[in-house]
Amino acid sequence: MVGLFKANTNMNKFRSIFKHRFGPVALVVFLVAGMSLITRLFLFFYSYKSLELNPPKVIGIFFIGLFYDLVVSSFFAVPVSLYCWLMKDSWYQKKWSRIPVFILFTIITLILLVNAGAEIAFWDEFNVRYNFIAVDYLIYTTEVIGNIRESYNMPLILSAILLIVISLLLFIRKKLFASQQVSMRFTKRSVYFLGCMAVAAAAYFLVNNRIKNISNNNYVNELAGNGIYEFGAAFWNNAIDYQKFYTVNDNKKNFTILRQMLQQPNAVFTNDSLSIERKITSDSPQHNYNVVLISVESLSGEYLKYFGNTLNITPYLDSLIPHSLFFTNFYASGTRTVRGLEALSLAIPPTPGQSIVRRPNNEDMFTMGSILKDKNYDVKYIYGGNSFFDNMGYFFSHSGYQVIDRRDIPDSMVQHETAWGVADEDAFAIALKECDKSFKNNKPFFSHIMTVSNHRPYTYPKGRIDMNPDDQNSEGAVKYTDYAINKFLKDAQQKPWFSNTIFVIVSDHCSHSAGKTDLPVNRYHIPCIIYSPGLVKPALQAKFTSQIDLAPTLLGMMNMTYTSKFMGYDINKTTTENNRLFISTYQDMGYIKNDTLVILSPQKKVSFFKIDFKTGVSIKINSTQKLTDETIAWYQSASFLFTSGRYKKNKLQ
């Protein structure tokens, strides 16, 4: 009986929390924390097989997670506490005053439910909480909303959300209105309000999103976070000052290291000690080959049969390998299309925050296109969607390329279209016309084509392959893209310019970037095929090759003489000793040499790992100064060259 009495007493105390002028604030905290816990539990069991768990890690996930949930709830409590503070008693106790607070809670509940659904969908695709990708998606609402509508049964989902919102509001309505029974003088209300503001201010200024990093398993760290908080952190940190947040060395020391690593037999550097500008001189006549560079959306290396896939979803690409120069150890620089485009066009390592493609002051950049344009090439960037997305159109059109996008493709040529653009075969069809046009004008051409079909909702024209596009799975989209590339090359073989053309097929990034570690190297492994019967000798290139090395390698194959600012190098003219890879997220900069991964992170942190290229698993090891200096040299110099304007085409270094 005594125990029952104590239980009732505790329950009454709990209920009394809501019978307080600031009771709605407490209700917000319970609502946010409760929804966040449910979301965390769902993601926990959804990803259970990928977690490396022990009791301390499980406790960390839920207790640190609760901490972040309370931080987020303090932000949601601000408008509610403002309402409780400003409403004087004579108004607050009227029935009509329930309407504003009910509307406020409707909005908060709706945000929480929509966020829970969005978090689950985002986790399903990227295996992480919100990050800078989610922030970017807010800008391009047309494509993103269209993608959501095409990928999910939105009427059913919205109906379910509305039903849950109504049910929750009916459940909490009595607790919500209980505070109206309590009077409180303005002075006392002010004390409570200032207390709420102080908590929110402390949460904003004193908390960061690194407290959750309690494990070497990235899934554990992500689960310990809060999606809404991560979104805010990504929003404020899209642009990251390298000098302020990362370990730095003297610029002269950095460039000394770079010039040694970039030195090749045919390269002569300028005398400027803060420069990598060098004259690349060919000892053979220049070949004015046409170049068609196809950057394929999300084509992971693991999709190819050559790398062990058993689903036969890239039959044509696999059939090309014996007849091509095939890079077996080729790696993407980042996890997004703009990172791939940055590396393939600029040949520069990634810099913290946004890709250069999306940054201010990115006009007149030194690109492969600008070099070939000076060689009297027709240079075009061809994209089946709206090139406004990710600032692609602006970047390429201001750095030596003519942009051809969805607006230039007649509707009569479109057989299928999603929110991201026309089907790959339609984009290839317009590309063929553009190549024909250049040939007719007696101009060599460089066409960079960006595909879109291997992107959610993963739909494509019916009847092309032995898979149903209505299933909306990535395997079908990959096989369709393989079909479209096959059709494109078969059509190109009928053209008079085919025999003088080099075709490059390379991915922009992998389909999934998340893994058990912060930078799982296996999630950056992509295929790269250079195909040209009669021009390119079939071979397997096993050297470590980064995306930034592709442009100088192609120019080397064409015997181009030019002045280079590229931070990549001709892989055919470098030594194995200098092979290195760059992999990154928006804030972790990874540098790989042999089987060692160095990661530069904010707060001037440097970490070393021994890595397994097949599994992506990494084991922390002790650092070495030489490798630390190399890593800093590449990344600090990349940031320096861009921010100082020295990577522009027409600015002398």
pLDDT over 80 at 175, yes or no: no
pLDDT bracket for residue 14 (50, 70, 90): very low
For 292, phi then psi, to 5°, come to -115, 110
pLDDT bracket for residue 173 (50, 70, 90): confident
Higher pLDDT, 144 or 82: 82
- Tell me the two tokens of residue 438: 């250049």
Mean pLDDT, range 10-37, rounded to an integer:
76
Comparing 174-183, 463-472, 587-596, which segment has the lowest mean pLDDT?
Answer: 174-183
What tens digit of pLDDT does each residue of 186-239 get? 888 889 899 999 999 999 999 988 889 888 788 888 999 999 998 888 777 666
d(CA 101, CA 85): 12
Nearest CA to 335 out of 553, 521, 459 is that of 521
- Tell me the two tokens of residue 475: 């395997």
* pTM given for the model: 0.80
Comparing 48-62, 110-124, 291-305, 507-521, which segment has the lowest mean pLDDT?
Answer: 507-521
Q: Taking all residues of the chain, what is their mean pLDDT, rounded to a whole number?
A: 89
Higher pLDDT, 121 or 73: 73
Q: What pLDDT is attached to residue 461? A: 95
Mean pLDDT, range 149-157, rounded to an integer:
80
d(CA 354, CA 371): 25
- Taking the alpha carbons at both ends of the chain, their separation in whole angstroms is 85
Mean pLDDT, range 443-455, rounded to an integer:
96
d(CA 534, CA 500): 9
Q: What pLDDT is attached to residue 90? A: 73
Higher pLDDT, 251 or 20: 251
Q: What pLDDT is attached to residue 237? A: 64
What tens digit of pLDDT does each residue of 639-648 get? 999 999 999 9
If 0-12 CB within 10 Å is exposed, 13-18 middle and 19+ buried, where does residue 575 land?
A: exposed
pLDDT bracket for residue 445 (50, 70, 90): very high
Nearest CA to 275 out of 251, 261, 255 is that of 255
**Domains (range + CATH), the chain:** 17-236 (no CATH), 287-569 (3.40.720.10)
d(CA 83, CA 459): 48
Mean pLDDT, range 404-418, rounded to an integer:
94
Q: What is the 3-state secondary structure (H, E, C) of 480-521?
A: HHHHHHHHHHHHHCCCCCHHHEEEEEEECCCCCCCCCCCCCH
Q: What pLDDT is attached to residue 16? A: 60
pLDDT bracket for residue 516 (50, 70, 90): low
The residue type at 596: T
Mean pLDDT, range 278-297, rounded to an integer:
96
**Residue % of the chain over a pLDDT of 90:** 63
d(CA 121, CA 148): 10
Whose structure tokens read 């509307």?
A: 103
Q: What pLDDT is attached to residue 1? A: 43
Mean pLDDT, range 265-284, rounded to an integer:
93
Mean pLDDT, range 604-630, rounded to an integer:
93
pLDDT over 60 at 291, yes or no: yes
What tens digit of pLDDT does each residue of 72-113 get? 999 999 998 888 888 777 777 777 877 888 888 889 999 999
Q: What pLDDT is attached to residue 242? A: 87
pLDDT over 90 at 425, yes or no: yes
Q: What pLDDT is attached to residue 651? A: 64
If 0-12 CB within 10 Å is exposed, 13-18 middle and 19+ buried, where does residue 471 land?
A: exposed
Whose structure tokens read 């607006």?
A: 407
Q: Which of 98-102, 166-170, 401-405 has the highest mean pLDDT?
A: 401-405
Q: What pLDDT is attached to residue 18? A: 66
What tens digit of pLDDT does each residue of 303-345 get? 999 999 999 999 999 999 999 999 999 999 999 999 999 999 9
d(CA 119, CA 105): 21
Mean pLDDT, range 338-362, rounded to an integer:
94
d(CA 469, CA 47): 27
- Tell me the two tokens of residue 323: 């007849």
**Residue % of the chain over a pLDDT of 70:** 94
Give Rg (Cα) of the chain: 28
pLDDT bracket for residue 524 (50, 70, 90): very high
pLDDT over 50 at 2, yes or no: no
pLDDT over 50 at 5, yes or no: no
pLDDT over 50 at 513, yes or no: yes
Residues in the chain: 653
